[in-house]
Amino acid sequence: MMFHPAREPAYDELPERSRGILTQLVKQYIDKGEPVSSLWLTRHGRLGRSSATVRNVLATLEALGYVQQPHASSGRVPTDRGYRAYVDLLLRARRTPKPTPEVEARLRQAGTLSDVLSNVSHELSLASHQLGFALRPPSGDTFQHIEFVALGDSRILVVVSADGNEVAHKVVDMGEPIGPAELNQGANYLNSEFAGMPLGDVRAAVAEQLRQERMLYDRLLSHALRLASSTLEELVPQNSLFLEGAGFLVDQFSEDDAQVQFTTLRALLSMIERKDQLVRLLNEYLDGSSLTVVIGTEHVSAEMRGLSVVMSPYSDGRGTGCVGVIGPRRMRYSHAISAVDSVSRAVSRVLVSQ
């Protein structure tokens, strides 16, 4: 199912003066990381509105869920809906970025697809001071069939078939003998569960179930997952996601958000350790040829709801991958959108011409 962020009420349903005040509030909060008062907006927001008008508009924006007050006597900060309204304005107003010959030149020197994508994550991290990522186009092959054959003692021959006449086989030593009946049951389970699914999705699903193996009381299922995982690696490249710049995120949170910072960074590091889960999430967000921004509570994964993702697809002439950045909700969206848009176009130009 294609991901679509919630967009109600729409930004352009707000009166013009409300849009102007919200935009200035979001910009100031992103810049300073502190609640924005009506007094500051009146004096420095270049709005041409009286203090009473600004206070009334802020009260309305709060009632509609665009801003909130962290404390009764504080100024206001944008909610995820407020960020969404601001980002929608940026996306609507953006222009085609200028070519980046320096970036393209460095990417053309990279060589293989993996080298190019590794360089891309580095370029985006430096440009945005966020976590940069590059995701390889998913394999177009789908899982068809798996078979387990006991070879004697504790060795098992695993044969995985995919469409496109691709076959991988591997001998795995399980450390204990497993009978043919149990092997057949395990293979039947995997075939019924995953047949027809993309290989990358199957590998990610198997890896996620294995991560929870301590919860598996079913010996047969545990064996089947371990056998499948070891052989799927032969068909699906492990280096499908390239990440760089996690250290930049430490300085992106305000001091008032120390607990949020700790919780969010811990969740992100957990996602990075389980790359398969992050790959599945990013693939779900990939939206055709469009640049996509996912903000906070719009994420389908609760672990990502303290973060925002800016991503854009690229083509290598055969399939579609994506590049982007991950950072706090209070990121500099205009800068991130420009960097991601520019680099994704550069990647497509480099890869299609190879």
DSSP for 123-190, please give it: HHHHHHSSEEEEEPPPP--BEEEEEEEEEETTEEEEEEEETTTEEEEEEEE-SS---HHHHHHHHHHH
* Span 210-228, pLDDT tens digits: 776 555 556 777 888 888 8
304 vs 68 pLDDT, higher one: 68
Quick one: tokens of 179? Answer: 């009978």
* Pairwise CA distance, residues 341 & 233, whole Å: 32
Which residue from 290, 289, 307, 288 is spatially nearest to 298, judged by alpha carbons? 307
Q: Give Cα separations from 138 to 48, 205, 303, 311 (angstroms).
A: 51, 15, 23, 16
For the domain bounded by 143-235, which CATH number is listed? 3.30.390.10
Which residue from 310, 311, 313, 308 is spatially nearest to 352, judged by alpha carbons? 313
Which residue from 142, 141, 138, 199 is spatially nearest to 321, judged by alpha carbons? 138
* Pairwise CA distance, residues 318 & 113, whole Å: 12
**Cβ 195 vs Cβ 228: under 8 Å:** no
**Cβ 83 vs Cβ 329: under 8 Å:** yes
Which residue from 286, 329, 323 is spatially nearest to 132, judged by alpha carbons? 323
User: 11-91 domain in CATH 2.40.10.10?
Assistant: no
* Pairwise CA distance, residues 123 & 348, whole Å: 15
Residue 137 dihedral angles phi and psi, to the nearest 5°? -55, 135
143-152, strands of its sheet edge to edge: 143-152, 155-162, 166-173
108 vs 138 pLDDT, higher one: 108
* Pairwise CA distance, residues 100 & 291, whole Å: 18
Quick one: tokens of 32? Answer: 């300073």
* Span 263-303, pLDDT tens digits: 777 777 777 777 777 887 888 888 767 899 999 999 988 88
Mean pLDDT value across the chain: 83
2: pLDDT confidence band, cut at 50, 70 and 90?
very low
Q: Which fold has domain 100-139+239-353?
A: Beta-Lactamase (3.30.450)
What residue segments make up the domains of the chain, in order of their start?
11-91, 100-139+239-353, 143-235
User: Does residue 9 carry a pLDDT above 60?
Assistant: no
User: Residue 269: its pLDDT value, please?
Assistant: 76
* Pairwise CA distance, residues 295 & 329, whole Å: 6
Which residue from 340, 198, 166, 354 is spatially nearest to 276, judged by alpha carbons? 198
**Cβ 122 vs Cβ 244: under 8 Å:** yes
How big is the CA angle at 262 (ends 261 and 264), to the nearest 5 degrees? 65
Residues 6+ apart with CB under 8 A from 170: 157, 158, 230, 231, 234
* Span 149-164, pLDDT tens digits: 988 788 889 898 887 6
Which residue from 160, 164, 156 is spatially nearest to 147, judged by alpha carbons? 160
User: Which of the 8 DSSP states describes residue 98?
Assistant: P
Quick one: tokens of 275? Answer: 């790359």
Name residue 292's beta-bridge partners.
311
User: Residue 354: its pLDDT value, please?
Assistant: 67
Instruction: Give the global pTM.
Output: 0.76
